[in-house]
Amino acid sequence: MDKKLEGLSSSDVAARVARGQVNVDASVKTRSIKQIVVSNVCTLFNAINLILACFVFITGSYKNMLFMIVIVCNTAIGIIQEVRSKRTTDRLSIIASSKVDVMRDGARQEISVDEVVLGDIIVLGRGDQVPSDSVVVHGTCDVNESLLTGESKLVRKEAGSELMSGSFVNAGTVYAQVTHVGADNYAAKISAEAKEHKAVNSEIMNSLNGIIRFVSIIIFPLGAILFAREYFTGAYIELNDAILSSVAALVGMIPEGLILLTSTVLAVAVVRLSRSKVLVQQLYCIETLARVDTLCLDKTGTITTGKMEVDRVVTLGDCDEGEADGAFYSIADADEDPNETAQAIIDYYQDVIPQPGAVRHSRRRTKPSDRSVKKYGIERVIPFSSDKKWSGAVFEGGASYVMGAAQFVLGKDYATVKNRVEELAQNARVMVLARVDGFDDEGRIAGRPQPLALIAIKDQIRSTAAQTIQYFIEQGVDLKVISGDDPRTVSGIAQIVGIPHADAYVDATTLLSDAALENAATCYQVFGRVTPEQKKKLVLALQKEGHTVAMTGDGVNDVLALKASDCSVAMAAGSDAARNVAQLVLVNNDFASMPKVVAEGRRAINNLQRSASLFLVKTVLSMVLAVCFIILPWQYPFQPIQMTLISAFTIGLPSFVLALEPNKDRIKGKFLVNVIVRSLPGSITAILAVLGLNIVSYTTLGLDYAQVSTMCVLVTAWVGLLLIVRLSFPFTPIRAALIVVVIGGVILGSTVFPSLFGIEPFTQSMVVAFAVAAAIAVPVFNLLYQAFGSWHAKRQEELV
């Protein structure tokens, strides 16, 4: 054995391990369970509610602490969802092969990829993934580097050639010496940017955080002023009562159920998508994808499967089809270790070779007609070489053929087939079959090659690609194809799957400045020969124009663009770097899953917008009333437990039912604006009703606090019911049943558990006052709802 192929000795390996020169896993790690728990528990939202609960605890009125149940549920759901996502992510295979063969102490042995050390001699054959950057020391092979460069063309490697980690050996066997390990590997360096934290770009999250920040700024000063006004001035109010009414005002300002609702709805979407083999690694990316107006697609692995297939065989002159088919198949099959191209030819012809006991199936139009394809015996094989770009064979009987790149096979006679080759090469690789006189002792062609046929081999397009592309077109999403391949080939494939204006393509090597690239981003739909850095700049250029951009990819070359995009989608079979940085991972590697993700996002957002308005009614109501009752001489008319009754039946239950219904409408407008517009009619109506009841009850009817509080609770519930009815149009059996349950729940709580919720028996004057307030509330609410709705619809039309 060659001394240089004996590999390291055991002592050499031990020394390198001691120095840390070992191929440790440098991939992105998911957060620990402890980190997940801490981040979900220690939030400003939870802190505010905990402080309020402590004030209630001091009063000894423990029933008024029931609002904390919602807080606990919200936190638990957040933790469970993230832990579930973590475990699913951790189960994904980080590298295609977890074992590798190495030469150590002169013997070949199998070890884990994370046991490889610097200087190891690794043995790589067809189908193996290169675990570390290496240099070939013996043998030759064809390597697929598409995950790294985006270029699907095979690269020939021989002694002295560099092998990049993450690439795959397509054909041949080599011995290679490891030059980098762990974080020093090429793939690890490119994906280093993926490890940096990226803020979540979610309009819903930003809106909710904005509400919480606003509430947190005013809640305690407002609460302190309200408490001081009630306890230290005006009519005498006991300390505990002043605390409870002040806390009730503050609890009402916090849309705690909205946070829970949002987490729950998105968690349900995550579960539904997981059944469709879609892993959601970031909860709010579902919303982002539903808002996307520009989708950037990587060709390999997204539109195509990453495999090759024969598109067609074209005979030239008077060549017999049977001769061409037999020669193509026999030459490809003669290769002991066929590369990707040869394997595509073998697969193309295999189903027309009669097999013992096999049933002949009908074939696609591109397959040979129903005729037997003869497989010739081989006397001599001339293997493929990256230098000569062809392979050949001498068949039994003496006939000799070559198959390869037409320019290299035909030489000066290439002009005779040039036009036909270029026509086929629009979206495929083209090889020529030629009959020759034979080969000399060194394998060179003897005689003048006579071209017989052309075979076009193209990327295998996913069967569902065209349908999926059509879906996004119908949804008004602009599609861009970004690839490292030849732009003409990419354009041809894009046209096949129906991408609009796919004939508008550009070679990214001609875009020499950022300005040229930014201009191209708006002018072209197809980009070829794009570098990883250019992919990122294209995404940023589109975002600069105001677009919400999603990016799909599967290779290390896609990582920078995936990270920069608003929503990133990766294939599970792709590189570990792409999977780690992506917010969504298609576990079944099927781009056809994308419409389901968009549909789930739309259902979640549209329903959340509708349901969130119920929560903001309470928030706006509580804020305005808190300010009013600082000025008015009476006690704030609600207790925390009463707000729980209102929240449970007129907000919580209906919001969850409405939020989980089917809804595929397109997203329109801003989340917060949509929610506020729907909530203001209810808020204004409830504020007017509560203030009116307080004024009349205290100045005219002579009612006490408990009686006034009872009417205020029920009239607020009544206004909430009016909003639920409007949000339920058009009625369905479920929505009708919801309204019945809401009415029944409020009546049940008020009659069966009056002491729990502080509900007093109605007197005649209370009945009259409540009836008048409820009756007036109906036209006022409907008038406001129609006015705000008309204004909002007109505003949206102006923004389109």
In angstroms, the CA 245 to CA 248 distance is 5
Per-residue model confidence as pLDDT tens digits over 226-263: 888 888 775 567 888 888 888 888 887 888 767 777 77
Structure tokens at 798: 């102006």
| Residue whose entry in the numeric block shows the structure tokens 């102006």 | 798
- E strands present in 429-561: 429-436, 438-439, 445-446, 450-461, 478-482, 505-507, 526-528, 549-553
- Listed in sequence order, the residues at least 6 apart from 375 whose beta carbon sits closer than 8 Å to its beta carbon are 326, 329, 330, 333, 353
- Residue 191 has what pLDDT? 55
Q: Is the pLDDT of residue 114 over 90?
A: no
In angstroms, the CA 50 to CA 671 distance is 28
In angstroms, the CA 667 to CA 600 distance is 12
| Residue whose entry in the numeric block shows the structure tokens 């102490």 | 105
- Listed in sequence order, the residues at least 6 apart from 498 whose beta carbon sits closer than 8 Å to its beta carbon are 466, 469, 470, 473
- Residue 33 has what pLDDT? 84
Task: Let me know the angle formed at the C-alpha of 320 by 314 and 324, rounded to the nearest 5 degrees.
Answer: 55
What is the per-residue burial (b if ≥16 Cβ within 10 Å, else e) of 579-588? Answer: bbbbbbbbbe
Res. 359 pLDDT band, cuts 50 70 90: very low
Measuring CA to CA, which residue among 403, 407, 387 is closest to residue 395?
A: 403
- Listed in sequence order, the residues at least 6 apart from 221 whose beta carbon sits closer than 8 Å to its beta carbon are none
- Residue 95 has what pLDDT? 35
Per-residue model confidence as pLDDT tens digits over 28-66: 456 778 888 888 888 877 888 888 889 888 888 887 888
456 SS3 class: strand
Torsion angle, alpha carbons of 223, 229, 231, 237, to 10 = -110
Lowest model confidence (mean pLDDT) among 115-124, 194-203, 612-621: 194-203
Contact by Cβ (8 Å): 606, 659 = no
Gyration radius from the chain CA atoms: 35
Q: In what order do the strands lie in the sheet with 400-404?
A: 304-315, 450-461, 429-436, 400-404, 390-395, 378-382
Lowest model confidence (mean pLDDT) among 415-424, 475-484, 641-650, 670-679: 641-650
Res. 475 pLDDT band, cuts 50 70 90: confident
Per-residue model confidence as pLDDT tens digits over 392-435: 999 988 899 999 889 889 988 899 998 898 888 877 888 999 99
Residue 298 designated active-site: yes
Q: Which of 298, 325, 478, 486 is catalytic?
A: 298
Mean pLDDT score, 642-651: 83
φ, ψ of residue 328 to 5 degrees: the values are: -55, -50
DSSP H helical ranges for 357-417: 406-410
DSSP 8-state assignment for residue 484:
S
In angstroms, the CA 728 to CA 77 distance is 27
Residues of the chain with pLDDT > 90: what percent? 26
Mean pLDDT score, 98-121: 88
Structure tokens at 55: 């004030």
H-helix or E-strand containing 735? helix 733-751
| Residue whose entry in the numeric block shows the structure tokens 């609009």 | 500
DSSP strand pairing (478-482 vs 526-528): parallel
Q: Is the pLDDT of residue 324 over 50?
A: yes
Going along the chain from its start, the domains and CATH numbers come out as 3-18+97-130+133-179 (2.70.150.10), 205-270+598-799 (1.20.1110.10), 275-304+463-597 (3.40.50.1000), 307-354+365-460 (3.40.1110.10)
What is the separation of C-alpha 309 from the centre of its chain, rounded to a whole number of angstroms? 29
Write out 157-175 in H/E/C secondary structure.
ECCCCEECCCCEEEEEEEE
What DSSP string describes 314-354? Answer: EE-TT--HHHHHHHHHHHHHT-SS--HHHHHHHHHHHTTS-
- E strands present in 164-257: 168-178
H-helix or E-strand containing 653? helix 653-659
Length of the chain: 800
